[in-house]
Copies of this chain bind each other. A is one copy, B any other.
Amino acid sequence: MKIRLKRLSRKQRKRLMPCIHIKVQNGHFEIVGLGAWYSYWRDPYHLLLTIPWSGFLGMIFIFYVAINTVFALAYLVGGDCIANAEPGSFLDFFFFSVQTLASIGYGAMYPKTIYANTIVTIEAMVGLMGIAVMTGLAFARFSRPTARVMFSRVAVITPHEGVPTLMFRTANQRRNTILEAQMRVYLMRDEVSAEGHFIRRFHELKLLRNQTPGFALTWLAMHVIDESSPLYGVTPELLIETHTILMVSLSGIDETVAQVVNARHSYGTHDILWNNRFVDIIHHKPNGDRYIDYKDFHDVLPLD
């Protein structure tokens, strides 16, 4: 007997659409249908931050035209209430509304009745509020602290000091330094619980170095696959079978904007190359100077 809880309101029910699908394709998850069960309209701020700039500007433009149309209609209702605007001409009233909302006020057209002045009073306040909200949104979009971190296209498993070691490379693409940078690597895979259920489980992979006081150029992440590693004894086939995914999370303080930044990357099973090693990118000149050659950043060499 299934208990349907009475206290759950109708409104909450509606928010919960039937189901979402999770597809595993090419070692990556694909989530389908989640959009359906959580409407954008319930989370407008998040939407306005998420859509690309073109969509953001488009939405502002539509809103701007719509609000001027509403006020133009309000002035139309007032009849001959705007000096030098032809009564009944929607366009005249629309342009008068624009001049008022944007607080331009050329004065070629101006309100001449109490009704028109009252609408102007309201429109002026709406204009001020609109500037306030738009400024806040533009700022929030602009200021989202982001890290520009590049991850190597593949991870490799290669012997290091005699032990097989998982490695991948990262590079800070900015000219500045990410302070107190921390890297975490998680393994996500299907496992069988004691009661025989398939469950999806996270394991954190221990790195030889998981933090650096200053991440300026490149960072080679290394996880030694010893007895304590969840990858110990694992084969490429088993990785695929258990839908294994490596999730990398890098965070630190951007030196320039002094804010915490985050970067993420994930490696599917097909992105992990066994018995390969990365091409060296740090070279020495005859005079002892070092230089980094990013051309080979993603390149690997098979072991002999």
Contact = CB atoms under 8 A, between A and B. Distances in A.
Interface of A: 1-5, 7-8, 15-24, 31, 33-35, 37-38, 42-43, 45-46, 49-50, 57, 60-61, 64, 68, 83, 91, 94-95, 98-112, 114, 117, 120-121, 124-125, 127-140, 142-146, 148, 153-154, 161, 173-176, 179-180, 184, 186, 193-195, 202, 204, 209, 212-214, 216-217, 247, 249, 251, 253, 255-258, 260-262, 264, 276, 279, 283, 285, 288-302
A16 to B, nearest CB: 4
Given A19-B291, A24-B288, A132-B134, 5 more contacts: A3-B300, A8-B298, A31-B216, A98-B120, A102-B128
B106 A24 contact: no
Contacts of A130: 128
B143 A38 contact: no
Nearest to A83: B108
Given A139-B135, A258-B261, A1 B302 contact: yes
A262 B257 contact: no
Contact of A262 (B8, B146, B258): B258
Assembly stoichiometry (copies): 4
Main secondary structure of the interface of A (DSSP, over half): mixed
Nearest to A40: B175
Contact of A103 (B103, B114, B133): B103
B289 A21 contact: yes
A247 to B, nearest CB: 5
B299 A4 contact: yes
A251 B137 CA distance: 24
Contact of A108 (B19, B110, B154): B110
Contact of A105 (B46, B99, B209): B99
Nearest to A109: B106
A258 B34 contact: no
Nearest to A134: B132
29 contacts: A2-B299, A3-B302, A5-B154, A8-B298, A18-B294, A19-B294, A20-B291, A20-B292, A20-B294, A21-B289, A24-B288, A37-B294, A45-B142, A95-B117, A101-B124, A102-B103, A129-B134, A132-B138, A133-B138, A135-B136, A135-B138, A136-B138, A136-B143, A146-B258, A161-B193, A179-B262, A186-B213, A213-B247, A214-B249
